[in-house]
Amino acid sequence: MTMNVTRLASGLTVVTDAMPHLQSASLGVWIGAGSRDERPDEHGISHLLEHMAFKGTSRRNARQIAEEIEAVGGDLNAATSVETTAYYARVLRADVPLALDVLSDILTDPTFEPEELAREKNVIVQEIGAVEDTPDDLIFEYLQEIAFSGQPIGRSILGTPETVRSFDSRRLRGYLGRNYRASDMVVAAAGSVDHEAVVAEVERRFGAFAGTDAPPPAPARFSGGSRVEQRDLEQVHVAFALEGLPQRDPTIYSLQVFTNVLGGGMSSRLFQEVREIRGLCYSIYAFHAAYADTGMLGVYAGTDASDLADLMRVVVDEIGATAETLSETEIARSKAQMKAGLLMALESSGARAEQLARQLMIYGRPIPLEEIVGKVEAVTVESARAAGRALIERSRPAVAVIGPGRGLERAAAIAESLGRRAA
């Protein structure tokens, strides 16, 4: 694999990773703007814009956009997150120019026709309804909202039915013009690609993006707190979070190792203690979500209402115990998991393109595998324990609970005890 990076005069960055053994390529455009870049009256507009990009340009209608890519056996998709929006395709080697043409067309020349806009707003309202009916999705919306209360970073990416219905083409164009700027964009391609050919296509097709940087989003503040909602469900869904670390924090690898030991797989402490030994749930895991200026370490589980208090006590105890007793054997296993995950990602052109785009947006350069592995290897028992202790001391926990029965508030009270224990 050979990585190449070119920064165009406009400020747009092009990165490629040639994988000569492949016959296909994955490529896309990543924009450094997502739901946290929305103004108060724009809740959900970044996600709507992502949808509307596929609904027609002056050269292609919505059907033609889909058919041109699928006629060559490719696929086209997009995703909106808190801090980024991505538009990407996978095609055979000969069709890379076509994919870049379609991607540039939908981003530089969307028409936002009123009929298509009305139809797509209704589609997103249906999507919001689907999340409302899916508690193991909704619980994470609630957790984000509680962790970052009253802030754009804490709002649902989808918006609300009321905000989505309020948007028109003028406001979509305003958001696009303000946030889709060349200096905040990366075109990444991996697989059977030629760097110079990709650069030439991008220079020719993405010239409409220029200008100064988009305005930075408001700084995030982890607030903590709880949200409890009674629903007639078979299980209680609970998500618990502590303030984590931002993407560029030098101790983030130690925290990631801590997270893996705590709840990163079947051998993790939470899986073994909560599920295998005590039988308190079917699913439990921990994760760390890192943003530009903050982060969130979370734990999710689904359990019977009668077992909720016991489960939360075990989770709180295990977080504290892991920060004090995490072992060399656990560290070695976590490091092996992380390194294997990195190497496995290199086998997928799509994952590789996404990884490169994110590295460029976060660090301004591709990060060699050897450098990442070196940082993982540098984690010690003490640095991982220190990361866990700092996590506990950093903030008030955030807790979200959805499910049947009374006494759900006890889960929040038990979670709060972790913060009191640290104090």
The percentage of the chain sitting over the pLDDT mark of 70, rounded to a whole number, equals 99
Q: Give the integer Cα–Cα distance in Å for 165 and 162.
A: 5
Residue 67 binned pLDDT confidence (cut-offs 50, 70, 90): very high
pLDDT computed for residue 410 by the predictor: 86
Q: 405 — phi, psi (to 5°)?
A: 90, 170
- Average the pLDDT over 408-412 and give the result: 85
225-422 matches 2-205 in CATH topology: yes
- In tens, the pLDDT along 99-135 reads 999 999 999 999 999 999 999 999 999 999 999 999 9
Q: Cβ(233)–Cβ(406) under 8 Å?
A: no
13 pairs with which residues across the strands?
A: 7, 186
- Residue in 63, 165, 48 with CA at minimum distance from that of residue 112: 48
Tokens 């709180």 belong to residue? 316
Region of residue 136 (phi > 0: left; psi between -120 and 50: alpha; otherwise: beta): alpha
Q: Cα(274)–Cα(385) distance, rounded to whole angstroms?
A: 21
Q: Is the dihedral of CA 90, 96, 100, 102 positive or negative?
A: negative
Whether pLDDT at 405 is above 90: no
Per-residue pLDDT band for 408 (boundaries 50, 70, 90) equals confident
How many angstroms separate the CA atoms of 141 and 284, rounded? 18
Q: For residue 300, what pLDDT is reported?
A: 98
**Burial (0-12, 13-18, 19+ Cβ within 10 Å), 164:** buried
From the candidate CATH numbers 2.40.30.40, 3.30.830.10, 3.50.50.60, 3.40.50.2300, the one assigned to the domain spanning 225-422: 3.30.830.10
Percentage of the chain exceeding pLDDT 90: 90
Domain boundaries, the chain: 2-205, 225-422
Let me know if 196 is a catalytic residue: no
Per annotation, catalytic residue among 42, 50, 243, 354: 50
Query: How much is the average pLDDT of 227-234?
Result: 94
Q: Record the pTM.
A: 0.94
Per-chain mean pLDDT for the chain: 95
Residue with the two structure tokens 């220029």: 210
The yes-or-no verdict on residue 233 having pLDDT over 70 is yes
Classify domain 2-205 at the CATH superfamily level: Metalloenzyme, LuxS/M16 peptidase-like (3.30.830.10)
| Residue-level pLDDT at 415 | 82
Question: Which helix (H) or strand (E) segment is 76 a member of?
Answer: strand 75-80
Backbone angles phi, psi at 134, to 5 degrees: -125, 90
* pLDDT tens digits for range 19-34: 999 999 999 999 999 9
Task: Evaluate whether 2 touches 196 at the Cβ level (below 8 Å).
Answer: no
Is residue 222 pLDDT above 80, yes or no? Answer: yes
